[in-house]
Amino acid sequence: MKSVAVVAAVLRDGQGRLLLAQRPAGKHLAGRWEFPGGKLEPDESPAEGLVRELAEELGIGITRSRPLLSLTHHYEDRCIRLLLREVGAWEGVPTGLEGQALAWVSLEQAGTLPMPAADRPMLKALALDPRYAISPDPAAFADTESFLSDWESRLQAGYGWVQLRANSLTASELRPLALCCGALARRYRARWMLNAEPTLAEAVGADGVHLSLERLRACRARPLPADRIVTASCQTAEDLRLAGRLGLDLVTLSPVASIGPGRSSGPQLDWSGFERLCADSPLPVLALGGVGPDDLPRARAAGGFGVAGTSRFDAS
Ligand SMILES: Nc1nc2c([nH]c(=O)n2[C@H]2C[C@H](O)[C@@H](COP(=O)(O)OP(=O)(O)OP(=O)(O)O)O2)c(=O)[nH]1
Ligand SMILES: [Mg+2]
């Protein structure tokens, strides 16, 4: 099914609340609360389309917007490619020019409103730091203290979303380490994820679980409830579709760039391959593999939501 491109806006007020609009009666998904926007016209860029849509629907003039994330959602009768953009500045006061109700809501309030199914993973992403910092293997450190000090240095550096990845440890070794990492993450008010068995992530009180490529491919149902975060490693379009069918929240897609000799897992995508796979992804995507936090604008320009990694996400 050919997808229809739709551009929509994240507009924030001075308190960080989001502007949502209620879809008018008689339209697809009537009554649902959405990010204001609409269908792109042929030959229109997403930035141009958003200017036109928000002038028509809200009577405001956007002076700046940039890409935030994209995803492709299959409804029963149509397929929508949603391009969500962050509006930096606008002129005028938003008014429901098509008779639609408007509301400024916090992310938490937005989560309680009926929204289109495509918007669920977008809301999830909006609550997260788009720089997902993955820990090095604890086995590479002389002792637990030096690993924990490395973990804390990333939190100190301001990363708000961190993943404990410790493939070389057994579950009984991992559990006490995870509890220490979790306590540190809480102290810095960061979200933290465990890359391990979902039951262990649950038991140590992590904000969510990250599924390795192997765990994803063996997964039959979303492993944690909707209020937790589930991310997964993907390399192919098939992996992305599987993560979408399972109702996961976000995915990493790798390897985008070279991760060093002998460490390659899967063919290198380059930014062009990343962009191509992102275009059909049902979930927001983070670029992984040879990328760093400074690649965020590039990842966003290619349709991704964020960047993930280890070595370039250090404290310096
Ligand atoms: N604007 C917007 N559309 C969304 C969101 N989530 C979502 O699934 N959609 C779907 C609903 C619609 O099928 C499509 C948007 O089309 P639309 O009906 O708003 O299009 P439009 O503003 O150009 O209106 P029209 O001229 O077609 O009447 O995308 C969202 O958050 N914002
Ligand atoms: Mg619209």
Q: What ipTM is given for this predicted complex?
A: 0.97
- 287 shares a domain with 150: yes
Question: What is the rounded distance in angstroms from the CA atom of residue 284 to the CA atom of residue 266?
Answer: 20
Atom of ligand 1 nearest to the CA of 39: 23
Question: What is the rounded distance in angstroms from the CA atom of residue 196 to the CA atom of residue 140?
Answer: 18
- 283 shares a domain with 161: yes
The dihedral through the CA atoms of 5, 107, 295, 201 has a sign that is negative
116 lines ligand 1 (CB under 6 A): yes
- 186 shares a domain with 103: no
- 280 shares a domain with 145: yes
- 137 shares a domain with 167: yes
Query: In this structure, is residue 195 part of a structural domain?
Result: yes
Domain count of the chain? 2
- 103 shares a domain with 190: no
Query: In this structure, is residue 227 part of a structural domain?
Result: yes
pLDDT in tens, the chain (316 residues): 789 999 999 999 999 999 999 999 898 999 999 999 999 999 999 999 999 999 999 999 999 999 999 999 999 999 999 999 999 999 999 999 999 999 999 999 999 999 999 999 999 999 999 999 999 999 999 999 999 999 999 999 999 999 999 999 999 999 999 999 999 999 999 999 999 999 999 999 999 999 999 999 999 999 999 999 999 999 999 999 999 999 999 999 999 998 776 665 788 999 999 999 999 999 999 999 999 999 999 999 999 999 999 999 987 6
38 lines ligand 1 (CB under 6 A): yes
Kindly list the strands in the beta sheet with 61-74, ordered across the sheet, starting from the edge strand earlier in the chain: 37-39, 3-10, 79-91, 61-74
291 lines ligand 1 (CB under 6 A): no
Compute how many other C-beta atoms are within 10 angstroms of the C-beta atom of residue 191: 19
- 53 shares a domain with 29: yes
Query: In this structure, is residue 125 part of a structural domain?
Result: no
**Most informative mutation of 32, 33, 39 for ligand 1 (most atoms within 8 A of CB):** 39
114 lines ligand 1 (CB under 6 A): no
User: In terms of residue numbers, what domain contains 280?
Assistant: 131-309
Query: In this structure, is residue 122 part of a structural domain?
Result: no
- 221 shares a domain with 144: yes
- 296 shares a domain with 201: yes
CATH of the domain at 79: 3.90.79.10
